[in-house]
Amino acid sequence: MRASNIVQDLIKQDKLTTNRPLTFRPGQIISGKVLKLYPNQIAEVQVGSQKVIAQLEVGLSVNDRHFFQVQSIDGQVQLKVLESPGLNGKQPSVENLLKQLNLPVTKENISLLQFFLREQLPITKETINMAAEWLKSSDSFQEGLEGIRLLLTKQLPFTKDVFHSLTTVLKNEPMSLLLENLLTQIKGENPTESGNKLTALLTEMTMTEKEKMSNVALMKLVKDWLSSTDQQKSKSALHFLQNTGFISSHANEESMVQQALQKWSKAAMVQTKNSSGLNIIPELVENNRAGSREGLILTLTKLQTILKNDVNGSIESKALSEIQKILSDIRGSNIAPPLSERDMTTIAKAIFQVLAQESDRMEIPARTAEWKQVLPILNQSEQSLSKLANMLFMDQGNLSKNQSNEEHILIEQMKNDIKIAGMQWGNSQAVKDQIKHLIQSIGLSYEHELLNVLKNPEGDAVNKADTLKPLLMQLLSEESSPAIKDAAEKLLFKITGFQLLSQEVGPLQQYIFQVPLSLWEMKSDLTMQWSGRKTENGKIDPNFCRVLFYLNLSQLKETIVDLQVQNRVMNLSIFNERADIRMLAAPFIAQLKGNLSKINYQLSSIVFEKPKDEKVNTLKAAISAHSAMSHVNGVDFRI
């Protein structure tokens, strides 16, 4: 079985739009064959596979084929003969038609016009001119032709941007590669506001699962160090960071806290969300730097109010009393600004406690983004991250005997955190939520969500603006280098292309998307298409639908799965080259039936086949999803 541009092959043969009835508009050129003649120059003309009754300008002969131009569609289609007949039903000269359209008779234009005629696409002088111009800038002439076919058969706006969006999808260049390319380009330039936001979002999307989990664990350590009210826990976290090499064993804690404070101060300047903890940091840093007694009193009074209102009793009793003492000393002129490192460290840790409380109310991705602003103060070398990752996935009994009991507890707590943050392949709801989050983060549903925001202005409009698609549009409107603009355009076209391919055709609906998927130590892409009848609420009917997808797994290699649902009865066909595929799947079939039964689905049959080339090509005509999911250590994922 050959893995070659599956998505491209499948989209080309999209069956939802091929049987649409012909539509005519004035100026359109068609190739037709005269079938019957009626009085008053009325004729039955066959155009492609369909027949139309039309008014002709001149009398013609039966069975002759002509190029016609649509003159009018009011009441009845009126056709004008453009070309002398092709006798015995043969196609008249394409070269002569190009001359009549005042278009150059070039090899490219001949191929383009022949393609339009073969695919029965609507021809006008303008469409041929525009298509010829677009093809000149296309990397592949054949992909360009396919993009034009999709554009016309799906009745999309005939514009250059739509054309580029479709051809970008047809190139089948992985989205993960486009994300990494843009991230590389942005990091090499002076950051802008949109560039900073894009860097954070792209970094999250391009990290492997191992990198993400290490960062979540590191976030936990930093939070325990800077915000814990338990002094022993704070010291254990700092000691752990030193043992793993994130902080030098000779580093001064107060100096490190000052660096963290400076990092948070800069982060708060570009924050779009209203975080009470973040907002107060720049104010504190600036007032202390300027030695402003009044400013510090005002800032600490605000912090005192926040501590009373936003945190629990244990923090209030400890941090609040410390802030009150420093505030009292400033007011009584016992302390003169600027404050000492020790006092600033005390205040900083109180603020970090507030931030910890705020971040705990956030979803995992937002929480990680919030805390990662302070992580650059750490030495995040490959060796340190690898050492931390090894500890996280090591049995408790194998951990170093030199570690304290508190450090063992920290490791267990970090393990619990990463279980929540990681992709839980055994939990279907968690997988669904993660994929949904990726779809929203990319902006594949941006326009739909923006419409809801316009209907409900009180909603979370800020979150919608910080997804990938609107940030790309913002970046392209700014002054950027040609390399950044090119990388951003390709990614924007890729996203828009999948949006364009997701559409409704009468009662049918299809949704196709691609998202980057991070596995343990590698990155890949997940591309899926769902199709079926539309329910009253606008969703695909789960009782009658079809899911087709292509998988490339490390052990099973290339696998085609065809899932059909009729009245909640499932028929599953699995095509794979391995002779032992049935034996490998056997232990899971009973579990699959049981789990499907729990959600009111009945598994009727599972068919395993070793596909022949013609069978693969037939399936490719129906499938339009490609999931390049592979893994390491010989284990494939089960969802």
Query: pLDDT by residue (tens digit) across 172-226?
Result: 788 889 999 999 998 877 777 778 788 888 988 888 888 888 888 888 888 888 8
Contact 377, 228 (CB under 8 A): no
Point out the least confidently predicted range of 115-124, 368-377, 423-432, 442-451: 368-377
CB 158 within 8 Å of CB 173: no
Amino acid symbol at 531:
S
Does 514 score more than 80 pLDDT?
A: yes
Tokens matching residue 415: 């393990």
Does the structure show a pLDDT above 80 at 384? yes
**Could you tell me the end-to-end alpha-carbon distance of the chain, in angstroms, rounded to an integer?**
24
Q: Which of 145-154, 252-261, 571-580, 630-639 shows the lowest mean pLDDT across its residues?
A: 630-639
Helix (H) or strand (E) holding 617: helix 613-620
> Does residue 394 register a pLDDT over 70?
no
CB 42, CB 55: distance < 8 Å: yes
- Helix/strand/coil percentages in the chain, nearest 5: 55, 15, 30
pLDDT of residue 512: 83
The pLDDT score that the predictor gives to residue 602 is: 95
What DSSP assignment string belongs to 413-445? HHHHHHHHHS--TT-HHHHHHHHHHHHHHHTTT
Chain centroid, CA 171 distance in Å? 17
- Within a 10 A sphere around the Cβ of 555, how many other Cβ atoms? 11
Rounded to an integer, the average pLDDT of 599-627 is 65
- Residues with Cβ within 8 Å of residue 204, at least 6 apart in sequence: 212, 365, 368, 369, 441
Tokens of 404: 């304290």
**What are residue 504's DSSP bridge partners?**
509
Angular region, 9: left φ>0, alpha ψ -120 to 50, beta rest: alpha
Lowest pLDDT segment from 122-131, 318-327, 396-405: 396-405
Task: State the Cα–Cα distance between residues 345 and 322, nearest whole angstrom.
Answer: 11
Predicted local distance difference test score (pLDDT) of residue 619: 47
Between 302 and 558, the higher pLDDT residue: 302
- In percent, the amount of the chain with pLDDT more than 70 equals 78
State yes or no: pLDDT of 316 exceeds 90: no
Whole-number pLDDT of residue 90: 60
Q: HSE on the CB side for 462, CA within 13 Å?
A: 5
* Model confidence at 472: pLDDT above 60: yes
Torsion angle defined by CA atoms of residues 146, 149, 151 and 154, in that order, rounded to the nearest 10 degrees: -120
Question: What span, in angstroms and rounded, lies between the C-alpha atoms of 25 and 48?
Answer: 16
Selection from 181, 205, 169, 178 nearest residue 625 by Cα: 169
Residue among 569, 570, 571, 512 at smallest CA distance from 540:
512
Angle ∠(249,395,638) on CA atoms, nearest 5: 120
Helix (H, G, I), strand (E, B) or coil at 15: coil
Within 188-229, residue ranges assigned H as helices are 193-206, 209-227
Question: Binning pLDDT at 50, 70 and 90, where does residue 415 land?
Answer: confident
Q: What does pLDDT average to over the chain?
A: 78
Residue 156: phi and psi, rounded to 5, are -90, 160
Please calculate the CA angle 547-170-468 and round it to the nearest 5 degrees: 80
Contacts of residue 64, defined as CB under 8 A and 6 or more positions apart, other chains included, come to 33, 34, 85, 86, 87, 89
Query: To the nearest whole percent, how much of the chain has pLDDT over 90?
Result: 13
With contact defined as beta carbons under 8 Å apart, do 43 and 56 qualify?
A: yes
Which residues make beta-bridge pairs with 102?
A: none
How many whole angstroms from its chain centre is CA 374? Answer: 26
pLDDT of 517 higher than 90: no
Please tell me the predicted confidence (pLDDT) of residue 94: 84
Give the separation between CA 77 and CA 71, rounded to whole angstroms: 8
Contact 552, 577 (CB under 8 A): no
Q: Per-residue pLDDT tens for 526-559? A: 777 788 888 888 788 889 888 877 766 667 777 7
Q: Which long-range contacts (CB under 8 A, 24 or more apart) does 558-566 make?
A: 558/1, 558/3, 560/1, 560/611, 560/616, 560/619, 560/623, 562/619, 562/622, 562/623, 565/532, 565/601
Interior/surface letters 242-271, b for 16+ CB within 10 angstroms, e for the rest:
ebbbbbeeebebeebbbebbebbbebbeee
